Amino acid sequence: MAAEPLFIFDLDNTLYPPEVSLWRIVDARIERYVQERLGVNPEAARRVRKDFLQEFGTTLRGLMHYHDVPPGEYLEYVHDVPIPEIVPPRPDLRSMLSGLPGRSVVFTNGSESYARRVLKALDVSDMMEGIYGIEFMEYIAKPSPYPYAKLLQATGARAEASLFCEDVRENLLPARELGMFTVWVGGREEASPAHAVVSDVCELPGILPRFLEPKISGGNR
């Protein structure tokens, strides 16, 4: 592969396994925020969130669009969790990242400051060249195609020289359409939209030959 590879990682439930309860805690705080901000009961809050996720990809974007919620207020509330008490260091993750033959970045629908705290807890902050969070995306979150194209422009990477690891199925589709090599973390082989499936991101080295071998035609499609 001529260009230096770019390894793009989602954050929650990708760089740490779902057994770590962080995302469940954040998700509960999102639901509580919707209840308190809109003055609705838990069932109504869940319906609102479902509608917002279908229309915008994130609860935040829906709240901004329909209720003029300041994004900073929302992000500060939902990410107000004791991350070091929840997320343990991952020496295996650090070892895996150190062996990758290219640059690594985080691409998350969370805030940049939240991502920095999670990376610090995992002890891999210095392994990432950059963090591209919801602020970078201009609050237009995955799976909208816009932030993927913006990420490639910001990093100077070619899609065909990029590998994207993500735990949410829908978020893999725009990456594959652009020509990235896609890896579904914790996904299922049957009906997978990704080029490869791993149960844990630390298994990534096992599928690297499929990504790094010269492409005869058609990129990673």
Residues 161-186 have a mean pLDDT of 97
- What integer pLDDT is reported at residue 214 of this predicted model? 55
How many secondary structure helices (H) and strands (E) does the chain include?
10, 6
Using alpha carbons, select from 193, 123, 191, 126 the residue that is nearest to residue 164.
Answer: 193
In sequence order, what E strands does the chain have? 6-9, 103-107, 130-132, 162-166, 181-185, 196-198
Using alpha carbons, select from 154, 153, 150, 148 the residue that is nearest to residue 182.
Answer: 148
Evaluate if residue 124 carries a pLDDT over 80: yes
- What integer pLDDT is reported at residue 217 of this predicted model? 42
Residues 56-67 have a mean pLDDT of 95
Q: Let me know: does 198 contact 185? Beta carbons within 8 Å.
A: yes
At residue 137, φ and ψ (nearest 5 deg) are: -75, -5
pTM: 0.93
Residues 94-119 have a mean pLDDT of 98
- What integer pLDDT is reported at residue 144 of this predicted model? 95
Residues 10-39 have a mean pLDDT of 97
- What integer pLDDT is reported at residue 91 of this predicted model? 98
Residues 189-207 have a mean pLDDT of 95
Q: Is 187 exposed, middle or buried (0-12, 13-18, 19+ CB in 10 A)?
A: buried
Evaluate if residue 3 carries a pLDDT over 90: no
- What integer pLDDT is reported at residue 209 of this predicted model? 96
Evaluate if residue 19 carries a pLDDT over 50: yes
Evaluate if residue 25 carries a pLDDT over 50: yes
pLDDT digits (tens, 9 = 90+) for 71-84: 999 999 999 999 99
Q: Let me know: does 78 contact 36? Beta carbons within 8 Å.
A: no
Q: How confident is the model at residue 191 (pLDDT cuts 50, 70, 90)?
A: confident
Return the percentage of the chain with pLDDT > 90, whole number. Answer: 92
> Please, what are the domains in the chain?
6-17+88-212 (3.40.50.1000), 22-78 (1.10.150.450)
- What integer pLDDT is reported at residue 1 of this predicted model? 43
Average pLDDT, the chain: 94
Evaluate if residue 215 carries a pLDDT over 60: no
Angle at 196 between CA 190 and CA 200, to 5 degrees: 95
Q: How confident is the model at residue 213 (pLDDT cuts 50, 70, 90)?
A: confident
- What integer pLDDT is reported at residue 221 of this predicted model? 54
